Amino acid sequence: MKAAVVGAGIGGVAAALALARTGWSVTVFERAVALGEVGAGLQLGPNAMRVLTALGVQAQGMRPARVEMRDGPSGRLQAVVPFGDAAQARYGAPYQQFHRQDLLAALVAAAQSAGVAFEFGTEVGPHAIPEADLVVAADGIRSMFRAELNPGVEAAFTGQVAWRALVSGADLDPAATQLWMGPGRHVVAYPLRGGAVWNVVAVEERMHWAAEGWHSPGDPEELRTAFAGWPLGGVLDQVEEVILWGLFAHGPLPRWHRGHMGLLGDACHPMLPFMAQGAAMSIEDAWVLAECLRFGPVAEGLAQYQALRRPRTSRVQTVAARNARIYHLRSRYARAARGLGLSLVQRAPGGLLARFDWLYGADVTVRE
Ligand SMILES: Cc1cc2nc3c(=O)[nH]c(=O)nc-3n(C[C@H](O)[C@H](O)[C@H](O)COP(=O)(O)OP(=O)(O)OC[C@H]3O[C@@H](n4cnc5c(N)ncnc54)[C@H](O)[C@@H]3O)c2cc1C
């Protein structure tokens, strides 16, 4: 059986690999002439790491010992989520952060070893599909296939923009991922490649997204001004180049498949990045899709895939949107109350990590 996968992002390559491992002959069609958006960091929870291990992917990443959640303007520590050994012990898999380039390269290498063919510089649309028994559209947040399957449903601007940058150093503890939360904005910073670079994501609420594309070159000075006075360990001082992204999302989609065509990853569940789970969900999708297509007709397998994946990805979409509200509380009192609430949860059995059991503890590689 022949499968055509549209898009060589993390979701597309993971799907190609998972399908090849279950016997499909797979070709990935990617419109870019080389591997796509690579210059930033990515965190993967134990839920996704488990799938990567099952797929035999070995990528070099870093394991943060903890996430430190701080009030942005004051720098005051409000809560600590223990990842490191605690996540490994609780979920049997680590929490890791990667340079995207490293993760994508490892996925592509594993896919090629499993016999997947790649055709770069090839754009595929819903009306010009290569002949195949299965078409997996992993064509990202601006998916043409999504529009074809769900006319009138478009990802909308969420009122948030994100600056993304890689910097060469920061006066911060490399064992911790940092999250600073403040009125209408937040910053996340974590080290990559043994601390040689730091990944910075800074989010700010805005009324409009004016740029024509979904991202455009940003201004480092504008970024520094937006977070002026926040004690961020000098991480923004180092920024020389930055990309500004408009964050777009939409609610759960009614249709993920038609005939022998199915959607995967951001194409079917674009979400705000405030759970750090978009790529993780696409990796889970990949495994479940391949399992659903092991036996029986393709159309039935795709329907089963949607039924299994939609509730979980919808929940992550909802929680990610809720995090935006919690991170961006405006009044000093609300921010102090958030700190109090977090410290109470921290002291409950299992601490803050237990709040993520439904997410990190799920093992899609095990059939229930
Ligand atoms: C600021 C920010 C931080 C994030 N941090 C995290 C994180 O820490 N952890 C996490 O799990 N997720 C994170 N995400 C989300 C994650 O980046 C995405 O969910 C993930 O990359 C989606 O992968 P994908 O393969 O579905 O789509 P994409 O990566 O967008 O890949 C789609 C591919 O399809 C190609 N393509 C598109 N149309 C066509 C066509 N017609 N023909 C051929 N090729 C086509 C594109 O060129 C592209 O290569 C973050 C997102 C943002 C914005």
Q: Whose CA is nearest to atom 15 of ligand 1?
A: 278
Distances in whole angstroms, Cα of residue 149 to Cα of each of 116, 132, 214, 308, 364: 26, 18, 22, 19, 26
Residue 307: the pLDDT is 97
Q: How far is the CA of 12 from the centre of ligand 1 (A)?
A: 9
Q: Is 123 in the pocket of ligand 1 (CB under 6 A)?
A: yes
pLDDT score at 203: 95
* Residue 43, beta-bridge partner list: 97
Whether 159 and 129 have beta carbons less than 8 Å apart is answered as: no
Interval between CA 283 and ligand 1 midpoint (Å):
11
Q: Is the CB of 279 under 6 A from ligand 1?
A: yes
Amino acid at 189: A
Query: 3-state class of 121 per DSSP?
Result: coil
* Residue of 5, 29, 30, 136 to test ligand 1 pocket, by largest number of atoms within 8 Å of CB: 30
The pLDDT tens digits for 116-156 are 999 999 999 988 888 999 999 999 988 999 999 999 888 88
Percent of the chain scoring above 70 in pLDDT? 98
pLDDT at 39: 65
66 lines ligand 1 (CB under 6 A): no
Tell me which residue of 218, 359, 187, 361 sits closest to 278, measured CA to CA.
Answer: 359
**How much is the pLDDT for 175?**
94
pLDDT score of 343 more than 90: no
Q: What is the token pair recorded at 99?
A: 């340079």
pLDDT of residue 36: 63
pLDDT tens, position by position, 177-229 = 999 999 999 999 999 998 889 999 999 999 887 665 677 888 999 999 999 99
Give tens-digit pLDDT for 216-255: 888 999 999 999 999 999 999 989 999 999 998 888 999 9
**Residue-averaged pLDDT of the chain:** 93
Provide the 3-class DSSP secondary structure of residue 37: coil
More confident residue, 170 or 96: 96
Cβ–ligand 1 distance for 7 under 6 Å, the answer yes
> What is the mean predicted confidence (pLDDT) over 27-53?
90
| Ligand 1 atom with least separation from CA of 8 | 49
pLDDT of 38 reads 59
Which of the residue ranges 255-264, 332-341, 354-363 would you say has the lowest mean pLDDT? 332-341
Q: Give the nearest ligand 1 atom to 14 CA.
A: 25
| 135 three-class SS | strand
Query: What is the position in ligand 1's atom list of the atom closest to the CA of 43?
Result: 8
Instruction: For residue 245, give the ligand 1 atom closest to its CA.
Output: 53
> Atom of ligand 1 at shortest distance to CA of 125?
41
Count CA atoms within 13 Å of residue 331 on its CB side.
Answer: 3
User: What is the CA(171)–ligand 1 centre distance, in A?
Assistant: 30
Cα 341 to Cα 30: distance, rounded to the nearest angstrom: 46
Residue at token pair 């408009």 = 246
Residue 94 Cα to ligand 1 midpoint, Å, equals 22
Helix, strand, coil abundance in the chain, percent, nearest 5: 35, 25, 40
Fold assignment, 2-60+100-155+250-326? FAD/NAD(P)-binding domain (3.50.50)
Q: What is the pLDDT of residue 368?
A: 66
What per-residue confidence (pLDDT) applies to 352? Answer: 87
Residues 6+ apart with CB under 8 A from 354: 348
For the record, the structure tokens of 316 come out as 């992550």
Q: Tell me the CA–centroid distance for residue 166 and ligand 1, in Å.
A: 18
Tokens of 277: 């789970």
Which residues lie below 8 Å from residue 48, measured CB to CB, with a gap of 6+? 277, 279, 280, 283, 284
- Could you tell me where the beta strands, DSSP code E, fall in 264-339? none
Q: What is the mean pLDDT of residues 28-49?
A: 88
The CA distance from 181 to 183, in Å, is: 7
DSSP 302: H
| 91 catalytic residue (yes or no) | no
**Domain layout of the chain by residue ranges:** 2-60+100-155+250-326
Collapsing DSSP to helix, strand or coil, 331 comes out as: coil
Secondary structure (3-state) at 100: helix
Confirm if 190 and 43 have CB atoms less than 8 A apart: yes
The percentage of the chain sitting over the pLDDT mark of 90, rounded to a whole number, equals: 76
CA of 359 to the centre of ligand 1 (A): 20
Predicted TM-score (pTM) of the model is 0.96
Q: Are 162 and 247 in contact (CB under 8 A)?
A: yes
CB 28 within 8 A of CB 16: yes
Residue with CA closest to ligand 1 atom 50? 273
Residue-level pLDDT at 211: 66
Q: How far apart are CA 327 and CA 315, in angstroms?
A: 18
b/e per residue, 122-135, with b = 16+ CB within 10 A? eebebeebeebebb
| Encoded tokens for 94 | 């680590």
The values of phi and psi at residue 204, to 5°, are -140, 140
